[in-house]
Structure 1
Amino acid sequence: MEYTDYDTRLAAYAVVTEGDRVLLARLRFPESGPWTLPGGGVEFDETVEQAVVREVREETGLEARVGALLGVRHHVVPPERRMHAGARGRPMKAVQVVFRATIVGGELRDEVDGSTDEARWVPIAELPHHRHGLLVPIALGWAGALTR
């Protein structure tokens, strides 16, 4: 398949830990959905580092400073699993860039009218009891946060 035959979505995410807790945001879709790392799509006019700072602010109310690049993950979303109806009919390659980040200000709050509906510090030991996407344990592994 040629690159013109599918869509690509570039997204940036933050692994933010505080002691034995990780900062997560709950996706609104599908249903009241799974927990994920704060992050999301990179806008046309921003870098991945700028995107992760913006996304953490939008989804959690917290101000973040970007640290080390932890890893890049990609996966394919078949046409029938695309969230946006207008994009159906074309597969998508999702490219997820993950950074370590630290909180430098702000106050924790839930996002209003966005892609997430709740932000929370979740004990890492409790992750098996929370529905979450594959990126969460993969990125925590990259950050060395699952070995505590």
Structure 2
Amino acid sequence: MADLPRHPVAVAAAVTDDNGLVLALRRPEDGRWEPPGGMLEIGETVPDGLRREVREETGLEVAPVRLGAVYQNTTTGTIVLTFRCRVLGGRLTVNDEASEFRWMTPDEVRERMPEIFAGRILDALADVEAPVRLHDGRRLTARL
């Protein structure tokens, strides 16, 4: 069988609290606010990768509640699955991937995060069928 092209797959988590706030972390390399998340490892399931990425970046143990959206970067081919998650335990811990944490309202997410990251969180918070969105790495280009 010929080698098939591979699309990198990543996960992102909209971690919510009991007050409707969502967790954001600040990336130390550029100061941007983003949801926790990252690339799946080969052989790793989506739920396992989601839990691992959140634990590595925040110190929290989470459970996925629902799929929020599917994003495809048409420039790189990366597919990002965004999930709404609830906290099971752990403690927020600053590390190499997160220099600061903040619990934000949806309006703060819109104001403080780049469009692509804000959209992922807002889609995960919405109680609608998970949309599929295309983007170019900076801006949304289509919703399917």
Report the count of equivalent residues: 123
Inter-partner Cα distance in structure 1 for 2:62 and 2:120: 21
1:26 aligns with 2:26: yes
1:38 is aligned with what amino acid?
P
Inter-partner Cα distance in structure 1 for 2:110 and 2:38: 23
After TM superposition, the structure 1 = structure 2 runs for residues 1-16 of structure 1, keeping only pairs within 5 Å, are 4=5, 8-16=7-15
Inter-partner Cα distance in structure 1 for 2:106 and 2:74: 27
Q: TM-score, normalised by structure 2?
A: 0.73
Aligned to 2:88: 104
1:139 aligns with 2:121: yes
Q: Once the 2 structures are TM-superposed, how far is the Cα of residue 48 of structure 1 from its aligned partner?
A: 1.2
1:94 aligns with 2:78: yes
Specify every segment of 5 or more residues in structure 1 that has no aligned partner in the other structure, as ranges. 78-91
Q: Which has the higher contact order (CA 8 A, sep 6+)?
A: 1
Report the 3-state secondary structure (helix = DSSP H, G, I; strand = E; otherwise coil) of the residue aligned with 2:49: helix
Q: 1:117 aligns with which of 86, 99, 106?
A: 99
Cα distance change on mapping 1:140 and 1:28 into 2, 3 Å: same
Q: Once the 2 structures are TM-superposed, how far is the Cα of residue 139 of structure 1 from its aligned partner?
A: 3.5
Q: Is residue 36–residue 133 contact of structure 1 (8 Å, CA) maintained in 2?
A: no
Q: Once the 2 structures are TM-superposed, how far is the Cα of residue 118 of structure 1 from its aligned partner?
A: 2.4
Q: CA RMSD in A?
A: 2.2
Inter-partner Cα distance in structure 2 for 1:142 and 1:99: 6
Q: Is residue 35–residue 133 contact of structure 1 (8 Å, CA) maintained in 2?
A: no
Specify every segment of 5 or more residues in structure 2 that has no aligned partner in the other structure, as ranges. 128-144
Q: TM-score, normalised by structure 1?
A: 0.71
Cα distance change on mapping 1:57 and 1:107 into 2, 3 Å: same
- Share of identical aligned residues, percent? 31
